[in-house]
Structure 1
Amino acid sequence: MTAPTDDEIRARVLDAADRLYNARGIQAVGMDALRAEAGVPLKRLYRLFPAKETIVEAVLRRRHQVWTSFVEDAVAGAPTPRAQLLALYDMLARWFDEDDFRGCVFINTFGELGTVSPRVAEIVREHKAGFQGRVAELCAAACAPAWLAPQLAILAEGAQTTAAIAGTNEAAGHARAAAVTLIDAALGEDRA
């Protein structure tokens, strides 16, 4: 039996970190707990990730890829530009129903580390700007005015926070209904 490669160990550590950070929060999870969850010797853990912040950054990068895939899958399944915009809120409703939903990892991480870790804050800002940019692209494809995109993005962000606090997916439905109102105002109801 061959020993696991660094890439395999790195993936195990990131999987474990993602689970633990999501369940408990970043500051509540020490390197010993992470080592135990990943089943990795502490020395190897530190060789692959010299500091906890490097693990947090890697988890956020992976979550960005997952989020981007969720968005693109939702958009790909919608037949019109308007439906693509609304598909974002349907995606949120499905996500909010998952057993391990604890809110947006980027918002949660920023809340814990944004003021003490400039690099983490930068990653979170880049992620949020990327989502806002994608919403702007979808709005442009729908021939909507530029003002619509930031408003729809804020609805999605607020729904994530509200759903995490409330523990239900109702915020996605409320955000979707508000999005319909905004989209109809922007495009004119006759184009709906």
Structure 2
Amino acid sequence: MAAVDTETSRQQILAAAHELFHAHGIRAVTMHHIRDASNVPLNRLYKTFPSKDDLVAAYLDHRDHSARDALTNALTAYDTPRAKIVGIFTWLHQFFQQPDFRGCVFTNAYGELGAQSPAAEIVLRHKTAIRVLLTDLARDANAPDPDTMGAQLQGLWDGAFLLAAMTRDPDHALHARATAQALLATITADH
């Protein structure tokens, strides 16, 4: 029974952290805020996550896995690597239209906490995973230099996130999609 209570508390804490960090930023939220929003006593909160750094790391780790799972699931709707690359930006356009969209969780966390934060490793792991996915898709699409195209696609991805968050205009994903299509058009049939 204690293991179930511990897991239930963990999920309540992570749900509260997601809601509060997303709405207010990581630095503005205290462990007392998390306690109040999760209805988990402070002693159990600290038993589950001994520090705020531990909670932030668990939150970002959870977001990393859920974001990559959502993207992977979205890509199943497309048959070819080229269609998947274009489809990524269609998916982003839909994602950017969510009423509570506030930009990239990982970029925001890195901007708030900096490179020296324990969470920076998780942010970089997420960004690397996105780059690997895009590079693999570029390779599968027969790009002559998949590493370069993967980097270019990641620039479009991150740029679309940043501009959509700043301007509240989800169409930045469509602009990125058009640029991705132009990149794909440069791939010749013999590559």
User: Does the pair score TM above 0.5?
Assistant: yes
Q: TM-score range by the shorter chain?
A: over 0.9
Letter in 1 for 2:93: A
Q: Distance in 1 between matches of 2:96 and 2:141?
A: 26
The residue aligned with 2:60 is 60
The residue aligned with 1:21 is 21
Deviation of 1:4 after TM superposition, in Å, equals 6.0
Q: Is the 8 A contact 1:70 1:91 kept in 2?
A: no
1:82-161 matches, within 5 Å, as: 82-117=82-117, 119-145=118-144, 146=146, 147-161=148-162
Letter in 2 for 1:113: L
Superposition misfits of 4+ residues, deviation over 6 angstroms? none
The residue aligned with 1:44 is 44
Deviation of 1:106 after TM superposition, in Å, equals 0.3
Letter in 2 for 1:69: D
CA RMSD of aligned residues (A): 1.8
Q: Distance in 2 between matches of 1:172 and 1:97?
A: 10
Deviation of 1:3 after TM superposition, in Å, equals 10
Q: Is the 8 A contact 1:163 1:171 kept in 2?
A: yes
Deviation of 1:67 after TM superposition, in Å, equals 1.2
Query: TM-score scaled by structure 1?
Result: 0.93
Q: Distance in 1 between matches of 2:74 and 2:163?
A: 21
Query: TM-score scaled by structure 2?
Result: 0.93
Q: List alignment gaps of at least 5 residues for structure 2.
A: none
Residues paired across the two proteins, number? 188
- After the TM superposition, which of the residue ranges 74-83 and 52-61 deviates more from structure 2? 74-83
For the residue of structure 2 that corresponds to 1:16, the secondary structure is helix
Give aligned-pair identity as a percent. 37
Q: Distance in 1 between matches of 2:141 and 2:74?
A: 16
